[in-house]
A and B are shown apart, each in its own frame.
Chain A
Amino acid sequence: MKMGFGPYVLAAWLFFIGLYGIVTSRNLFHLILCISILQSSSYVLLLGIGYRTGAVAPVFSDIPVNTPAVDPIVQALVLTDIVIEVTVLALLLTLAVQIHKRHGTLDPDKLSAIRG
Chain B
Amino acid sequence: MSLRTRTRLFLAAGMGLLAFFIYGLLGLPPVGQQISGYATKLNSLTVPARHITDTVTAVNFDFRGFDTMGEEYILFTSVMGVLLLFRTQRDEVEEAPRNHAPGRQAPPSSDAVRVCALSLMAPTLLFGIYTVTHGQINPGGGFQGGVILATVLLFVFLAGDYEIFRKMDAHRAVELAESAGAAGFVLVGLAAIILNKPFLENVLPLAPAGTVLSGGTVPLISLSVGIEVGAGILLLSTAFLEEALVLKSKKGG
Give min CB distance, A6 to chain B, whole Å: 7
Q: Is B3 part of the binding interface, using a Cβ–Cβ cutoff of 8 Å?
A: yes
- Across the two chains, which residue of chain B brings its CB closest to A48? B31
- Binary A-proximity of B39-64 (CB < 8 A = 1, otherwise 0): 10011101110000111101110001
Q: Is A112 part of the binding interface, using a Cβ–Cβ cutoff of 8 Å?
A: no
Q: In the bound complex, do residue A71 and residue B35 qualify as a contact, i.e. CB atoms below 8 Å apart?
A: yes
- Binary B-proximity of A52-63 (CB < 8 A = 1, otherwise 0): 110101111100
Q: Is B172 part of the binding interface, using a Cβ–Cβ cutoff of 8 Å?
A: no
Main secondary structure of the interface of B (DSSP, over half): helix
- Binary B-proximity of A78-91 (CB < 8 A = 1, otherwise 0): 01100110111011
Q: In the bound complex, do residue A60 and residue B68 qualify as a contact, i.e. CB atoms below 8 Å apart?
A: no
Give min CB distance, A71 to chain B, whole Å: 4
Give min CB distance, A110 to chain B, whole Å: 12
B interface residue count range (under 10 / 10 to 19 / 20 to 34 / 35 or more): 35 or more
Q: Is A9 part of the binding interface, using a Cβ–Cβ cutoff of 8 Å?
A: yes
By a CB distance below 8 angstroms, the chain A residues around B56 are 58-59, 72, 75-76, 79
B-side residues, CB < 8 A to A, are 3, 6-7, 10-11, 14-15, 17-18, 21-22, 25-26, 28, 30-36, 38-39, 42-44, 46-48, 53-56, 58-60, 64, 67-68, 71, 74-75, 77-79, 81-82, 85-86, 137-139, 143, 209-210, 236, 239-240, 243
A-side residues, CB < 8 A to B, are 2-9, 11-13, 15-16, 19-20, 23-24, 45, 48-53, 55, 57-61, 65-66, 69-76, 79-80, 83-84, 86-88, 90-91, 93-95, 97-98, 109
